[in-house]
Structure formats: C-alpha cells, structure tokens
Amino acid sequence: MSQDEGNAVMYTGAGVRQYCSEARTASRADAINLAEGYRELRKTLRPLLGWRRSHLVAWQLRYAAEHAKQASAHSGAAYISFLKHFQPEVFGRLPKGRRRYAGSRSDFFKR
C-alpha cells in the first residue's frame, strides 16, 4: 500500500481485514506486556512497600491489561461482524467456532 492510499484503507474488504488484524495483534501484545509489567512492578515494590501497598499500586496495570485484551477481542469481532453483514458468502465459509455472535442474533437480518 502506498502513502496516498493510507486514508483509503477502510474502503475495501482487504483493507478492513488488514486494519483489524494489525489492531488485534498490537492490542494483544500490549495486553501481554502490561501483564508482565504488573508482575515486574509487584516484584520490585513488594520489598519496599509490603504486600498490600504494592498490590494497591500494581493492580491498575493488571486492569489495563484486561482492557487491552478486550480491545483486542473487539478489533477481531469488528472484522467478523463486517464479514457477517457485508460479505455473507465469506462468513458462511468460516468454521462455526469463529463466527462470533452467531446465536439467535445471526438471523436478525433474514426475513
């Protein structure tokens, strides 16, 4: 993709796929890094502040890791949702385990 096409990434199916895939990978890496940061910070602060107070500082990083994980999941779900609503022939070829929200809501648009 060239520099000029950067803004047009959301106008093709392949562009949406690339965007969502990269966003998912980046958020997942962030979640892993933040979880490791929680463990490291806890290990560093425990001798200085004690068990309880080191937990009070570091638990925010654990929550941040959970948020990053959720962001990763939603990035992936955006592409699956795109397939479901705008490329149903591709969505139909997906294995059932990878079709998110494929329960009773899947036939919402089928009349």
Partner 1 sequence: MTAFGPFAPPPAPEFRTASDVYTYCTEFAARLSGMALEHEISALQLQKALGQIPDDRMGLRSKLKAKLVAGHLKRAAANCEAASMRITGAYLAMVSEAQQNESAERTAKAANAEAARAAKSDGKMTPNAALAAKIAKDY
Residue numbers at the binding site for partner 1 (CB under 8 A)? 1-3, 5-7, 9-11, 15-16, 18-19, 22-23, 26-27, 29-30, 33-34, 36-37, 40-41, 44-45, 48-49, 53, 56-58, 60-61, 63-65, 67-68, 70-72, 74-75, 77-78, 81-82, 85-86, 109
State the nearest-atom distance from the C-beta of 2 to partner 1, in Å.
7
3-state SS assignment for residue 87: coil
> Do 70 and 78 contact (CB within 8 A), yes or no?
no
Helix, strand, coil content of the chain in percent (nearest 5): 85, 0, 15
Q: Give min distance, CB of 38 to partner 1, in A.
A: 8
Q: Two tokens at 21?
A: 């895939």
